[in-house]
Amino acid sequence: MSRPPRARPLHALRSGVAAVLVGVVATAAAWYRLGPLTRATVWAEDGGPFFRDRLAAGVDGSLLRPYAGYLHLLPRLVVDLGFARPIEQYAVTIAGACCVVVGVVAGAVFVLARDLVPSWPLRLVLAAVPVTVPVVPYEISGNAANLHWFMLVLVPWLFAARVRTWWAAGSIAVLALVAVLTEPQTLLFAPLLLVAWWGRARVAGLRALPVTLAVVVAGAAQVVTALTTERASRPGHPTVGDVGRGYLLQPLAGAWTRHVGTVAAAVDRHGAVVVLLPVVVVLALVAAALVVGGWRARAQVLALAAGSVVVWTAALVANASADGGWGEQPVAAFVGAPPTRYAAASAMLLTAAVVLAASVLVDRRTWVRGEASRPAAVALGALGWAAVAVVVAAAVLAAAPGVTQRSGGPAWRPQVESQVPGCRTDPSGVVHAKTAPWGTTIPCGLVLGDR
């Protein structure tokens, strides 16, 4: 049944307010999980190529400059914001802006998943995935260099969105344009655009046109960049064991604990059942959702679950440094190993697939239109609630700030402020500031600012 015209503005207002509230809470949670020293430390490319390119070329010259073989629109925009504020606040500005981006992702997912996940508590769990997955803060949260991973969580919902107004269609197209111009792997989810087009009235179906055009234009820009720009990273040649065992010890483990090395220790002591049992449960959950869910839910669950594996595999194929040699070494070699950034996006996609599949199984609409017996409905519903409980428990246990790649510093602001006297002596000079794990050179003019 279609919604009465007069009810639509009120519904849109409620959705907008809900999205903002979810976004604000998610932003605050992402900020809190980083911890004070992590927030105060500049990470990798944020003080390296992105910083140097912004210094050398300004906004216009750096925004669409390729790096590592592809475009990084969103990180470049965040770095521009860092330059717009006092340079001694660069680290916290970047961290804060990145947390806001994650909040936007959470708010957008909360709204866009409404048709498939009508229960708002379950939708809240789904929207919180980019913030609450245990391994996220270790490296990819709170820095521009790793913002692109969060786009992989957002685009499945953008591409498959079936919107009711042209304003919403335009907003989704803008988000999709930014996402694809930030991460080329988002194109792996392009088949979901068919969901937005399929089975709709002509005018309503045309509202999928803006996001489709945005994906085509941005995707073409990424493809051309990849074909014409040399990558410094060597491609990898992972074995099946590297991909499979690595997936179990990194993304799968990282979906429920930040201490992935303890999972390797458990496997070493108790055998493969430690990771194979969760795999069986996840497969059963996803398979059940694919059987009983509606066709749109099936497409989305499949995209998220398969995307988790494909993104992990693609990372190992594209980057030799991403392959930890999981297939060639005994499990004991990975006891105490930290999580890898390549596992974080895969873990988020896997968790999102689990939550969505669980919501299908506990949704009363699934059983009203289905032909399953009541015992089967009760059993599958229980499986769904159990899966949600595990996801929530993992999030709660990992909620407090923990060890990250930046938790040892060095803090940015004290270094910059200590250079002010020297820069006043020689305003045309430069100073050096340490970052994690590199360092950067800052012109004294930038250090002095309005001092």
pLDDT confidence of residue 202: 55
User: Are residues 422 and 343 both part of a single domain?
Assistant: no
Helix 73-84 with 49-62: angle, nearest 10 deg: 90
Does the residue 282 lie in any domain? yes
C-alpha dist (Å) from residue 327 to 52, 247, 306, 336: 38, 11, 21, 17
Do residues 175 and 105 touch, judged by C-beta distance below 8 A?
A: no
The residues, any chain, with a CB within 8 Å of residue 291's CB and separated by 6 or more, are none
Judge whether 411 and 37 are in contact, CB under 8 Å. Answer: yes
Asked if 353 and 242 sit in the same domain, the reply is yes
- Please tell me whether residues 361 and 311 are part of one structural domain: yes
| Position 137 in a domain | no
Give the per-residue pLDDT at 1.
44
Amino acid 298: pLDDT: 96
Which domain does 318 fall in, by range? 235-370
Question: 431 and 343, same structural domain?
Answer: no
Looking at the structure, tell me whether residues 330 and 443 fall in a common domain: no
Number of domains in the chain: 2
Q: What is the pTM of this model?
A: 0.95
| Planar angle of CA 351, 357, 363, nearest 5 degrees | 130
- From residue 192, give the alpha-carbon distance in Å to each of 188, 196, 208, 359: 9, 7, 11, 20
> Distance of CA 291 to CAs 56, 356, 366, Å?
55, 14, 10
- Whether residues 283 and 350 fall in one domain: yes
Return the residue matching tokens 């499945």: 156
Do 243 and 364 lie in one domain? The reply is yes
Residue 51, domain member (yes or no): no
Domain contains 207: no
Whether residue 251 is found in the same domain as residue 347: yes
Task: Quote the CA–CA distance of 172 and 163 in Å, as a whole number.
Answer: 9
Using the CB atoms, write b or e for 164-182: b if 16+ within 10 Å: eeeebbebbbebbbbbbbb
Query: Which residues face 67 on adjacent strands?
Result: 70
User: Of 349, 370, 391, which residue is a domain's last?
Assistant: 370
In sequence order, what are the residues at sequence separation of 6 or more whose Cβ sits closer than 8 angstroms to the Cβ of residue 316?
236, 238, 242, 243, 246, 322, 323, 342
Residue type, 148: H
Query: Apex CA 166: angle with CA 165 and CA 170, to 5°?
Result: 125
DSSP 443: E
204 belongs to a structural domain: no
∠ CA 257-264-245 to the nearest 5 degrees? 100
What local confidence, expressed as pLDDT, does residue 198 receive? 84
Query: What are the angstrom distances between the C-alpha of 77 and each of 83, 360, 451?
Result: 10, 37, 26
- Report if residue 356 sits inside a domain: yes
Same domain, 344 and 243: yes
439 and 321 share one domain: no
- Would you call 281 exposed, middle or buried from its count of C-beta atoms within 10 A (0-12, 13-18, 19+)? middle
Nearest to 21 by CA among 95, 103, 93: 103
Report CA dihedral (53, 179, 84, 43) to the nearest 10 degrees.
-60
Longest alpha-carbon distance in the chain:
82
Which residue carries 């639509």 as its tokens?
A: 8
Q: Which of 319, 347, 370 is the last residue of a domain?
A: 370
322 and 432 in a single domain? The answer is: no
347: Cβ–Cβ under 8 A, 6 or more apart, which residues? 133, 134, 135, 136, 250, 251, 252, 254, 255, 308
Position 393 in a domain: no
pLDDT in tens, the chain (451 residues): 445 555 566 667 787 898 999 999 999 999 999 999 999 999 999 999 999 999 999 988 899 999 999 999 999 999 999 999 999 999 999 999 999 999 999 999 999 999 999 999 999 999 999 999 999 999 999 999 999 999 999 999 999 998 888 899 999 999 999 999 999 999 999 999 999 998 555 556 688 999 999 999 999 999 999 999 988 888 999 999 999 999 999 999 999 999 999 999 999 999 999 999 999 999 999 999 999 999 999 999 999 999 999 999 999 999 999 999 999 999 999 999 999 999 999 999 999 999 999 999 998 777 655 555 677 788 888 999 999 999 999 999 999 999 999 999 999 999 999 999 999 999 999 999 999 999 999 999 999 987 7
**Cβ proximity of 291 and 301 under 8 Å:** no
pLDDT of residue 233: 81
Residues 6+ apart with CB under 8 A from 157: 108, 109, 112, 113, 300
Judge whether 312 lies within some domain. Answer: yes
Residues 340 and 435 in one domain: no
Listed residues 336, 352, 370: the one ending a domain: 370
